[in-house]
Homo-oligomer: A and B are copies of this chain.
Amino acid sequence: MDAETVVQTETLTGEAEYSEDVTLKIRKMRTVDLIHRKRDGDELSPEEIRFVVDGYTRGDIPDYQAAAFLMSTYFSGMSDREVSALTEAFITSGSTLDLSSIPGTKVDKHSTGGVGDKTSLIAAPIAAAAGVVVPMISGRALGHTGGTLDKLEAIPGFRTDLSTDEFRAQVERLKLAFIGQTAEIAPADGKFYALRDATATVESIPLIASSIMSKKIAVGLDALVLDVKVGAGAFMKKQVEARRLAQMMVGIGRRLDKRVQALITDMSQPLGYAVGNALEIMEVSQTLQNAGPADLTRLSLELAGRMIFLGKVTKTLEEAREVAQARLLDGSGYRKFKEVIAAQGGNPKVLDQFELLPNATGAQEITTSRGGYVSGIDAELIGQASSMIGAGRNTKEDQIDPAVGVILEVKVGQKIEPGSILCRLYYTGEEHLEEAAELVEDAFRISQQPVDERDLILEVVS
Protein backbone atom coordinates (compact mmCIF):
# COMPACT_ATOMS: atom_id res chain seq x y z
CA MET A 1 0.00 0.00 0.00
CA ASP A 2 1.26 3.44 -0.79
CA ALA A 3 1.24 6.40 1.56
CA GLU A 4 -1.84 7.94 0.04
CA THR A 5 -3.85 4.82 0.65
CA VAL A 6 -2.71 4.61 4.23
CA VAL A 7 -4.02 8.12 4.76
CA GLN A 8 -7.29 7.00 3.23
CA THR A 9 -7.34 4.03 5.61
CA GLU A 10 -6.95 6.26 8.60
CA THR A 11 -9.67 8.56 7.38
CA LEU A 12 -12.13 5.72 7.07
CA THR A 13 -11.33 3.51 10.01
CA GLY A 14 -9.10 5.51 12.32
CA GLU A 15 -6.77 2.56 12.60
CA ALA A 16 -3.13 2.02 11.90
CA GLU A 17 -1.71 -0.62 9.61
CA TYR A 18 -0.81 -4.03 11.03
CA SER A 19 2.81 -4.19 12.02
CA GLU A 20 4.87 -6.10 9.51
CA ASP A 21 6.43 -8.41 12.08
CA VAL A 22 3.24 -10.42 12.53
CA THR A 23 4.47 -13.79 11.40
CA LEU A 24 2.90 -15.87 8.69
CA LYS A 25 2.30 -18.65 11.19
CA ILE A 26 0.20 -16.48 13.47
CA ARG A 27 -1.68 -15.14 10.48
CA LYS A 28 -2.54 -18.63 9.30
CA MET A 29 -3.65 -19.80 12.70
CA ARG A 30 -5.78 -16.77 13.07
CA THR A 31 -7.30 -17.13 9.63
CA VAL A 32 -8.57 -20.63 10.44
CA ASP A 33 -10.08 -19.27 13.60
CA LEU A 34 -11.83 -16.49 11.68
CA ILE A 35 -13.21 -18.95 9.12
CA HIS A 36 -14.38 -21.12 12.00
CA ARG A 37 -16.25 -18.26 13.63
CA LYS A 38 -17.74 -17.06 10.36
CA ARG A 39 -18.86 -20.65 9.72
CA ASP A 40 -20.52 -20.78 13.14
CA GLY A 41 -22.39 -17.53 12.52
CA ASP A 42 -20.40 -15.29 14.88
CA GLU A 43 -19.98 -11.66 13.92
CA LEU A 44 -16.39 -10.76 13.05
CA SER A 45 -14.98 -7.39 14.07
CA PRO A 46 -14.06 -4.79 11.42
CA GLU A 47 -10.38 -5.46 12.22
CA GLU A 48 -10.87 -9.17 11.59
CA ILE A 49 -12.64 -8.62 8.27
CA ARG A 50 -9.86 -6.27 7.25
CA PHE A 51 -7.26 -8.86 8.29
CA VAL A 52 -8.78 -11.38 5.86
CA VAL A 53 -9.07 -8.92 2.96
CA ASP A 54 -5.60 -7.43 3.39
CA GLY A 55 -4.04 -10.83 4.04
CA TYR A 56 -5.52 -12.34 0.91
CA THR A 57 -4.75 -9.32 -1.24
CA ARG A 58 -1.11 -9.32 -0.10
CA GLY A 59 -0.80 -13.07 -0.59
CA ASP A 60 -0.30 -13.88 3.10
CA ILE A 61 -3.58 -15.76 3.28
CA PRO A 62 -3.71 -18.61 0.74
CA ASP A 63 -6.56 -18.81 -1.74
CA TYR A 64 -7.96 -21.99 -0.17
CA GLN A 65 -8.54 -20.15 3.10
CA ALA A 66 -10.09 -17.22 1.25
CA ALA A 67 -12.33 -19.70 -0.60
CA ALA A 68 -13.45 -21.28 2.68
CA PHE A 69 -14.12 -17.82 4.07
CA LEU A 70 -16.24 -16.92 1.04
CA MET A 71 -18.27 -20.13 1.19
CA SER A 72 -18.87 -19.74 4.92
CA THR A 73 -19.98 -16.16 4.22
CA TYR A 74 -22.32 -17.49 1.53
CA PHE A 75 -24.01 -19.66 4.16
CA SER A 76 -23.69 -17.50 7.29
CA GLY A 77 -24.25 -14.09 5.71
CA MET A 78 -22.86 -10.88 7.19
CA SER A 79 -24.05 -8.23 9.60
CA ASP A 80 -24.25 -4.58 8.48
CA ARG A 81 -21.08 -3.88 10.42
CA GLU A 82 -19.26 -6.78 8.75
CA VAL A 83 -20.32 -5.92 5.21
CA SER A 84 -19.39 -2.27 5.76
CA ALA A 85 -15.96 -3.31 7.00
CA LEU A 86 -15.59 -5.58 3.96
CA THR A 87 -16.50 -2.67 1.68
CA GLU A 88 -14.00 -0.39 3.42
CA ALA A 89 -11.28 -2.99 3.16
CA PHE A 90 -11.93 -3.33 -0.58
CA ILE A 91 -11.84 0.46 -0.99
CA THR A 92 -8.58 0.91 0.90
CA SER A 93 -6.92 -1.96 -0.98
CA GLY A 94 -6.31 0.39 -3.90
CA SER A 95 -6.20 4.00 -4.85
CA THR A 96 -9.25 6.23 -4.73
CA LEU A 97 -10.22 8.94 -7.15
CA ASP A 98 -10.04 12.33 -5.50
CA LEU A 99 -12.79 14.53 -6.96
CA SER A 100 -12.83 16.95 -4.03
CA SER A 101 -11.42 19.77 -6.18
CA ILE A 102 -14.63 19.70 -8.22
CA PRO A 103 -17.35 21.76 -6.53
CA GLY A 104 -20.77 20.20 -5.99
CA THR A 105 -22.18 16.93 -4.79
CA LYS A 106 -21.00 13.91 -6.80
CA VAL A 107 -23.75 11.45 -7.52
CA ASP A 108 -23.66 8.22 -9.53
CA LYS A 109 -26.33 5.72 -10.49
CA HIS A 110 -25.84 1.99 -10.63
CA SER A 111 -28.02 -0.82 -11.94
CA THR A 112 -27.54 -4.46 -10.97
CA GLY A 113 -28.05 -5.30 -14.64
CA GLY A 114 -31.02 -5.88 -16.88
CA VAL A 115 -32.15 -6.44 -20.43
CA GLY A 116 -32.74 -3.28 -22.44
CA ASP A 117 -31.69 -1.23 -19.40
CA LYS A 118 -30.36 2.02 -20.87
CA THR A 119 -31.58 4.28 -18.04
CA SER A 120 -28.02 5.42 -17.16
CA LEU A 121 -27.68 7.10 -20.55
CA ILE A 122 -30.93 9.03 -19.97
CA ALA A 123 -30.91 9.76 -16.24
CA ALA A 124 -27.25 10.86 -16.08
CA PRO A 125 -27.51 13.57 -18.78
CA ILE A 126 -30.76 14.86 -17.26
CA ALA A 127 -29.22 15.00 -13.77
CA ALA A 128 -26.06 16.66 -15.11
CA ALA A 129 -28.18 19.17 -17.02
CA ALA A 130 -29.87 19.95 -13.69
CA GLY A 131 -26.48 20.70 -12.11
CA VAL A 132 -25.56 17.41 -10.46
CA VAL A 133 -21.93 16.30 -10.82
CA VAL A 134 -22.02 12.76 -12.27
CA PRO A 135 -18.71 10.86 -12.46
CA MET A 136 -20.11 7.68 -13.98
CA ILE A 137 -18.15 4.42 -13.76
CA SER A 138 -19.83 1.76 -15.87
CA GLY A 139 -19.47 -1.89 -16.73
CA ARG A 140 -19.63 -4.16 -19.74
CA ALA A 141 -22.14 -6.76 -20.86
CA LEU A 142 -21.78 -10.30 -19.54
CA GLY A 143 -24.23 -13.13 -20.13
CA HIS A 144 -27.71 -11.97 -21.06
CA THR A 145 -27.49 -8.46 -19.54
CA GLY A 146 -26.10 -5.42 -21.31
CA GLY A 147 -23.39 -2.99 -20.26
CA THR A 148 -23.35 0.80 -20.48
CA LEU A 149 -19.79 0.91 -21.86
CA ASP A 150 -20.70 -1.38 -24.76
CA LYS A 151 -23.71 0.78 -25.58
CA LEU A 152 -21.59 3.94 -25.62
CA GLU A 153 -18.96 2.27 -27.78
CA ALA A 154 -21.63 1.61 -30.43
CA ILE A 155 -21.23 5.35 -31.13
CA PRO A 156 -18.36 5.59 -33.68
CA GLY A 157 -15.30 7.17 -32.10
CA PHE A 158 -16.59 7.18 -28.51
CA ARG A 159 -13.75 6.65 -26.03
CA THR A 160 -14.44 5.05 -22.64
CA ASP A 161 -10.73 4.75 -21.77
CA LEU A 162 -10.23 8.33 -20.56
CA SER A 163 -7.23 8.90 -18.32
CA THR A 164 -8.00 9.90 -14.74
CA ASP A 165 -7.00 13.48 -15.57
CA GLU A 166 -9.21 13.59 -18.67
CA PHE A 167 -12.07 12.14 -16.66
CA ARG A 168 -11.68 14.67 -13.84
CA ALA A 169 -11.41 17.58 -16.30
CA GLN A 170 -14.52 16.52 -18.20
CA VAL A 171 -16.54 16.01 -15.01
CA GLU A 172 -15.53 19.50 -13.93
CA ARG A 173 -16.37 21.10 -17.30
CA LEU A 174 -19.54 19.17 -18.32
CA LYS A 175 -20.58 17.65 -14.96
CA LEU A 176 -20.75 14.24 -16.67
CA ALA A 177 -18.20 11.76 -18.00
CA PHE A 178 -18.30 8.01 -18.56
CA ILE A 179 -15.40 5.61 -17.90
CA GLY A 180 -14.90 1.97 -17.12
CA GLN A 181 -13.55 0.32 -14.03
CA THR A 182 -9.77 0.66 -13.65
CA ALA A 183 -7.39 -1.86 -12.14
CA GLU A 184 -6.33 0.64 -9.47
CA ILE A 185 -9.83 0.93 -8.02
CA ALA A 186 -10.57 -1.66 -5.30
CA PRO A 187 -8.11 -4.34 -6.54
CA ALA A 188 -9.01 -6.58 -3.58
CA ASP A 189 -12.55 -6.74 -4.88
CA GLY A 190 -11.19 -7.84 -8.25
CA LYS A 191 -9.15 -10.59 -6.63
CA PHE A 192 -12.04 -11.78 -4.50
CA TYR A 193 -14.42 -11.62 -7.46
CA ALA A 194 -12.22 -13.92 -9.53
CA LEU A 195 -12.14 -16.38 -6.64
CA ARG A 196 -15.92 -16.18 -6.18
CA ASP A 197 -16.37 -16.95 -9.84
CA ALA A 198 -14.31 -20.16 -9.47
CA THR A 199 -15.85 -21.29 -6.18
CA ALA A 200 -19.61 -20.89 -6.72
CA THR A 201 -19.83 -18.01 -4.26
CA VAL A 202 -20.98 -15.28 -6.66
CA GLU A 203 -24.60 -15.36 -5.45
CA SER A 204 -23.99 -14.08 -1.93
CA ILE A 205 -25.81 -10.88 -1.01
CA PRO A 206 -23.11 -9.38 1.26
CA LEU A 207 -20.43 -10.24 -1.30
CA ILE A 208 -22.44 -8.64 -4.13
CA ALA A 209 -23.24 -5.58 -2.02
CA SER A 210 -19.65 -4.96 -0.93
CA SER A 211 -18.34 -5.50 -4.46
CA ILE A 212 -20.71 -2.90 -5.95
CA MET A 213 -20.40 -0.39 -3.13
CA SER A 214 -16.61 -0.50 -2.87
CA LYS A 215 -16.14 0.30 -6.55
CA LYS A 216 -18.63 3.16 -6.37
CA ILE A 217 -17.38 4.72 -3.15
CA ALA A 218 -13.72 4.44 -4.24
CA VAL A 219 -14.33 6.93 -7.04
CA GLY A 220 -15.15 9.68 -4.59
CA LEU A 221 -18.93 9.79 -4.67
CA ASP A 222 -21.09 11.60 -2.14
CA ALA A 223 -24.31 9.86 -3.08
CA LEU A 224 -25.59 6.98 -5.14
CA VAL A 225 -28.91 5.93 -6.65
CA LEU A 226 -29.22 2.17 -7.05
CA ASP A 227 -31.56 0.35 -9.38
CA VAL A 228 -31.87 -3.23 -8.13
CA LYS A 229 -33.51 -5.33 -10.81
CA VAL A 230 -35.73 -8.26 -9.96
CA GLY A 231 -37.35 -10.89 -12.15
CA ALA A 232 -36.59 -13.40 -14.90
CA GLY A 233 -34.19 -11.06 -16.69
CA ALA A 234 -32.26 -10.03 -13.57
CA PHE A 235 -29.62 -11.57 -11.36
CA MET A 236 -32.06 -11.48 -8.43
CA LYS A 237 -35.06 -13.61 -9.26
CA LYS A 238 -37.05 -12.88 -6.12
CA GLN A 239 -38.12 -9.58 -4.62
CA VAL A 240 -37.11 -10.66 -1.12
CA GLU A 241 -33.52 -11.17 -2.30
CA ALA A 242 -33.50 -7.87 -4.18
CA ARG A 243 -34.79 -6.13 -1.04
CA ARG A 244 -32.06 -7.68 1.12
CA LEU A 245 -29.41 -6.59 -1.38
CA ALA A 246 -30.87 -3.08 -1.58
CA GLN A 247 -31.11 -2.76 2.21
CA MET A 248 -27.57 -3.97 2.62
CA MET A 249 -26.18 -1.48 0.09
CA VAL A 250 -28.16 1.40 1.60
CA GLY A 251 -26.85 0.32 5.02
CA ILE A 252 -23.25 0.34 3.78
CA GLY A 253 -23.80 3.84 2.46
CA ARG A 254 -25.19 5.00 5.80
CA ARG A 255 -22.20 3.57 7.70
CA LEU A 256 -19.68 5.07 5.27
CA ASP A 257 -21.44 8.43 5.30
CA LYS A 258 -22.76 8.34 1.73
CA ARG A 259 -26.37 9.11 0.84
CA VAL A 260 -27.76 6.05 -0.92
CA GLN A 261 -31.25 5.29 -2.17
CA ALA A 262 -32.31 2.14 -3.97
CA LEU A 263 -35.24 1.39 -6.27
CA ILE A 264 -36.32 -2.19 -6.69
CA THR A 265 -37.64 -2.43 -10.24
CA ASP A 266 -39.28 -5.09 -12.35
CA MET A 267 -37.16 -6.93 -14.92
CA SER A 268 -39.70 -9.57 -15.90
CA GLN A 269 -39.89 -7.99 -19.38
CA PRO A 270 -37.18 -5.93 -21.14
CA LEU A 271 -37.12 -2.22 -20.38
CA GLY A 272 -38.31 -0.19 -23.38
CA TYR A 273 -38.44 -1.85 -26.79
CA ALA A 274 -34.79 -1.97 -27.88
CA VAL A 275 -32.22 -4.60 -26.81
CA GLY A 276 -28.79 -4.35 -28.44
CA ASN A 277 -26.12 -1.67 -28.33
CA ALA A 278 -26.73 0.67 -31.28
CA LEU A 279 -30.48 -0.05 -31.11
CA GLU A 280 -30.49 1.10 -27.49
CA ILE A 281 -28.58 4.31 -28.35
CA MET A 282 -31.39 5.10 -30.81
CA GLU A 283 -33.99 4.55 -28.09
CA VAL A 284 -31.98 6.69 -25.66
CA SER A 285 -32.03 9.49 -28.22
CA GLN A 286 -35.81 9.19 -28.68
CA THR A 287 -36.37 9.11 -24.93
CA LEU A 288 -34.18 12.17 -24.30
CA GLN A 289 -36.39 13.90 -26.91
CA ASN A 290 -39.48 12.80 -24.93
CA ALA A 291 -40.51 10.36 -27.61
CA GLY A 292 -39.42 7.16 -25.88
CA PRO A 293 -41.30 4.24 -24.38
CA ALA A 294 -43.42 5.03 -21.32
CA ASP A 295 -41.72 2.54 -18.96
CA LEU A 296 -38.22 3.65 -19.88
CA THR A 297 -39.13 7.33 -19.60
CA ARG A 298 -40.81 6.86 -16.24
CA LEU A 299 -37.94 4.91 -14.65
CA SER A 300 -35.25 7.21 -16.10
CA LEU A 301 -37.05 10.28 -14.74
CA GLU A 302 -37.43 8.70 -11.30
CA LEU A 303 -33.73 7.82 -11.23
CA ALA A 304 -32.75 11.31 -12.46
CA GLY A 305 -35.07 12.87 -9.88
CA ARG A 306 -33.43 10.96 -7.06
CA MET A 307 -29.96 11.88 -8.37
CA ILE A 308 -31.03 15.54 -8.39
CA PHE A 309 -32.43 15.24 -4.86
CA LEU A 310 -29.35 13.46 -3.48
CA GLY A 311 -27.20 15.96 -5.39
CA LYS A 312 -28.82 18.68 -3.24
CA VAL A 313 -30.08 20.69 -6.20
CA THR A 314 -33.52 20.75 -4.55
CA LYS A 315 -34.79 20.47 -0.99
CA THR A 316 -37.43 17.83 -1.64
CA LEU A 317 -37.72 14.78 -3.84
CA GLU A 318 -40.95 16.19 -5.32
CA GLU A 319 -39.13 19.32 -6.51
CA ALA A 320 -36.31 17.17 -7.85
CA ARG A 321 -38.79 15.13 -9.89
CA GLU A 322 -40.17 18.37 -11.36
CA VAL A 323 -36.65 19.52 -12.27
CA ALA A 324 -35.93 16.18 -13.97
CA GLN A 325 -39.17 16.43 -15.93
CA ALA A 326 -38.30 20.00 -16.97
CA ARG A 327 -34.75 19.07 -18.08
CA LEU A 328 -36.25 16.33 -20.23
CA LEU A 329 -38.93 18.55 -21.75
CA ASP A 330 -36.63 21.50 -22.49
CA GLY A 331 -34.15 19.24 -24.30
CA SER A 332 -31.25 20.13 -22.00
CA GLY A 333 -30.67 16.46 -21.08
CA TYR A 334 -30.53 15.63 -24.78
CA ARG A 335 -28.05 18.45 -25.43
CA LYS A 336 -25.95 17.38 -22.44
CA PHE A 337 -25.63 13.87 -23.85
CA LYS A 338 -24.53 15.31 -27.20
CA GLU A 339 -21.87 17.45 -25.49
CA VAL A 340 -20.55 14.44 -23.63
CA ILE A 341 -20.45 12.31 -26.77
CA ALA A 342 -18.47 15.02 -28.56
CA ALA A 343 -16.12 15.47 -25.58
CA GLN A 344 -15.34 11.74 -25.51
CA GLY A 345 -14.51 11.59 -29.24
CA GLY A 346 -17.86 10.40 -30.59
CA ASN A 347 -20.01 11.92 -33.29
CA PRO A 348 -23.04 13.56 -31.61
CA LYS A 349 -24.95 13.55 -34.91
CA VAL A 350 -25.66 9.85 -34.41
CA LEU A 351 -28.49 10.90 -32.10
CA ASP A 352 -30.31 12.54 -35.02
CA GLN A 353 -29.09 10.44 -37.94
CA PHE A 354 -29.35 6.80 -36.87
CA GLU A 355 -27.78 5.67 -40.17
CA LEU A 356 -24.46 6.94 -38.73
CA LEU A 357 -24.66 4.18 -36.11
CA PRO A 358 -23.62 0.62 -36.96
CA ASN A 359 -26.59 -0.92 -38.77
CA ALA A 360 -27.75 -4.50 -39.05
CA THR A 361 -27.85 -6.05 -42.52
CA GLY A 362 -30.97 -8.15 -42.02
CA ALA A 363 -34.12 -8.28 -39.93
CA GLN A 364 -36.29 -11.25 -39.11
CA GLU A 365 -39.87 -10.77 -37.99
CA ILE A 366 -41.27 -12.96 -35.25
CA THR A 367 -45.07 -13.22 -35.52
CA THR A 368 -47.76 -14.85 -33.41
CA SER A 369 -50.17 -17.46 -34.72
CA ARG A 370 -52.62 -16.77 -31.90
CA GLY A 371 -54.44 -13.64 -30.85
CA GLY A 372 -54.96 -12.53 -27.23
CA TYR A 373 -53.07 -10.47 -24.71
CA VAL A 374 -49.31 -10.47 -24.14
CA SER A 375 -49.00 -11.80 -20.60
CA GLY A 376 -45.22 -12.12 -20.38
CA ILE A 377 -41.98 -11.42 -22.28
CA ASP A 378 -39.15 -13.36 -20.63
CA ALA A 379 -36.35 -10.82 -20.45
CA GLU A 380 -33.68 -13.45 -19.89
CA LEU A 381 -34.58 -15.26 -23.13
CA ILE A 382 -34.67 -12.00 -25.09
CA GLY A 383 -31.29 -11.07 -23.62
CA GLN A 384 -29.84 -14.49 -24.42
CA ALA A 385 -31.12 -14.34 -28.01
CA SER A 386 -29.67 -10.88 -28.50
CA SER A 387 -26.36 -11.97 -27.00
CA MET A 388 -26.33 -15.11 -29.16
CA ILE A 389 -26.42 -13.14 -32.42
CA GLY A 390 -23.57 -10.93 -31.23
CA ALA A 391 -24.90 -8.17 -28.95
CA GLY A 392 -23.38 -9.64 -25.81
CA ARG A 393 -20.59 -11.90 -24.67
CA ASN A 394 -20.34 -15.19 -22.85
CA THR A 395 -16.73 -14.74 -21.83
CA LYS A 396 -14.83 -11.53 -21.17
CA GLU A 397 -12.80 -12.10 -24.35
CA ASP A 398 -15.78 -12.24 -26.76
CA GLN A 399 -16.16 -9.42 -29.33
CA ILE A 400 -19.43 -7.54 -29.49
CA ASP A 401 -21.34 -6.69 -32.66
CA PRO A 402 -22.81 -3.23 -31.89
CA ALA A 403 -25.36 -3.34 -34.71
CA VAL A 404 -27.40 -6.40 -33.75
CA GLY A 405 -30.22 -7.01 -31.30
CA VAL A 406 -33.95 -7.28 -30.83
CA ILE A 407 -36.69 -4.67 -31.11
CA LEU A 408 -39.95 -5.58 -29.44
CA GLU A 409 -43.14 -4.57 -31.21
CA VAL A 410 -45.38 -5.31 -28.23
CA LYS A 411 -45.17 -5.09 -24.44
CA VAL A 412 -46.93 -6.95 -21.64
CA GLY A 413 -50.65 -6.16 -21.47
CA GLN A 414 -51.00 -5.32 -25.16
CA LYS A 415 -53.80 -6.90 -27.25
CA ILE A 416 -52.60 -8.74 -30.37
CA GLU A 417 -54.24 -10.41 -33.38
CA PRO A 418 -53.13 -13.66 -35.05
CA GLY A 419 -50.27 -12.74 -37.40
CA SER A 420 -49.17 -9.72 -35.34
CA ILE A 421 -45.45 -9.03 -35.26
CA LEU A 422 -44.09 -9.64 -31.74
CA CYS A 423 -40.55 -8.43 -32.39
CA ARG A 424 -37.77 -8.20 -34.94
CA LEU A 425 -34.31 -9.68 -34.74
CA TYR A 426 -31.64 -7.44 -36.29
CA TYR A 427 -28.58 -9.36 -37.45
CA THR A 428 -25.40 -9.07 -39.47
CA GLY A 429 -24.76 -12.80 -39.94
CA GLU A 430 -27.02 -15.82 -39.97
CA GLU A 431 -24.99 -17.83 -37.45
CA HIS A 432 -27.17 -18.76 -34.45
CA LEU A 433 -30.05 -16.82 -36.02
CA GLU A 434 -32.54 -19.68 -36.04
CA GLU A 435 -31.61 -20.65 -32.51
CA ALA A 436 -32.05 -17.04 -31.38
CA ALA A 437 -35.41 -16.83 -33.16
CA GLU A 438 -36.62 -19.91 -31.29
CA LEU A 439 -35.54 -18.43 -27.96
CA VAL A 440 -37.36 -15.21 -28.74
CA GLU A 441 -40.54 -17.07 -29.71
CA ASP A 442 -40.39 -18.97 -26.43
CA ALA A 443 -40.08 -15.67 -24.58
CA PHE A 444 -43.64 -14.52 -25.36
CA ARG A 445 -46.65 -15.68 -23.35
CA ILE A 446 -50.11 -15.03 -24.78
CA SER A 447 -53.23 -15.14 -22.62
CA GLN A 448 -56.90 -15.05 -23.60
CA GLN A 449 -57.76 -12.78 -20.66
CA PRO A 450 -56.69 -9.15 -20.36
CA VAL A 451 -53.55 -8.84 -18.25
CA ASP A 452 -53.01 -6.46 -15.36
CA GLU A 453 -50.03 -4.20 -15.85
CA ARG A 454 -47.21 -5.01 -13.48
CA ASP A 455 -45.73 -2.20 -11.44
CA LEU A 456 -42.37 -1.08 -12.79
CA ILE A 457 -41.07 0.42 -9.53
CA LEU A 458 -41.81 -2.16 -6.89
CA GLU A 459 -40.18 -0.69 -3.81
CA VAL A 460 -37.94 2.11 -2.59
CA VAL A 461 -35.25 1.44 0.02
CA SER A 462 -33.64 4.52 1.55
Contact = CB atoms under 8 A, between A and B. Distances in A.
Contacts of A208: none
Interface residues of A, number: 24
Contacts of A36: 200
Given A39-B71, A74-B39, A32 B199 contact: yes
A62 to B, nearest CB: 7
Contacts of A64: 63-64, 66-67, 195, 198-199
A81 interface: no
A33 B70 CA distance: 16
A68 B65 contact: no
Interface string A378-397: 00000000000000000000
A71 B64 CA distance: 11
Interface string A1-42: 000000000000000000000000000100011011001000
A95 interface: no
A277 interface: no
A193 to B, nearest CB: 13
A75 B74 CA distance: 10
A195 B28 CA distance: 12
A327 to B, nearest CB: 45
A397 to B, nearest CB: 13
Contact of A67 (B28, B39, B68): B68
A72 interface: yes
Contacts of A198: 28, 32, 62, 64-65
Contacts of A35: 199-200
A199 B70 CA distance: 11
Contact of A201 (B66, B68, B199): B68
A67 B63 CA distance: 9
Interface string A189-222: 0000001011111000000000000000000000
B200 A32 contact: yes
Copies in the complex: 2
Nearest to A76: B75
Contacts of A197: 32
Contacts of A67: 63-65, 67-68, 71, 199
A44 to B, nearest CB: 13
Contacts of A70: 68
Contacts of A39: 71, 74, 200-201
Residue of A28, A62, A72 contacting most chain B CB atoms (<10 Å): A72
A68 B32 contact: no
Contacts of A195: 64
A198 B36 CA distance: 10
A304 B309 CA distance: 80
A154 to B, nearest CB: 31
A35 B68 CA distance: 12
A39, A197, A199, A201: most-surrounded residue (chain B CB, <10 A): A199
A154 B267 CA distance: 71
A197 B66 CA distance: 14
Contacts of A201: 39, 68
Interface in A169-196: 195
Contacts of A32: 197-200
Nearest to A199: B68
Interface string A48-75: 0000000000000011111110111011
Nearest to A73: B71
A414 B63 CA distance: 53
A39 B67 CA distance: 13
A426 B70 CA distance: 47
**7 A-B pairs with least C-beta separation:** A68-B199, A71-B71, A36-B200, A64-B67, A35-B200, A63-B64, A67-B67
Given A28-B198, A39-B74, A62-B198, 5 more contacts: A32-B197, A32-B198, A32-B199, A64-B66, A68-B199
6 contacts: A33-B200, A39-B201, A62-B63, A64-B67, A65-B67, A68-B199
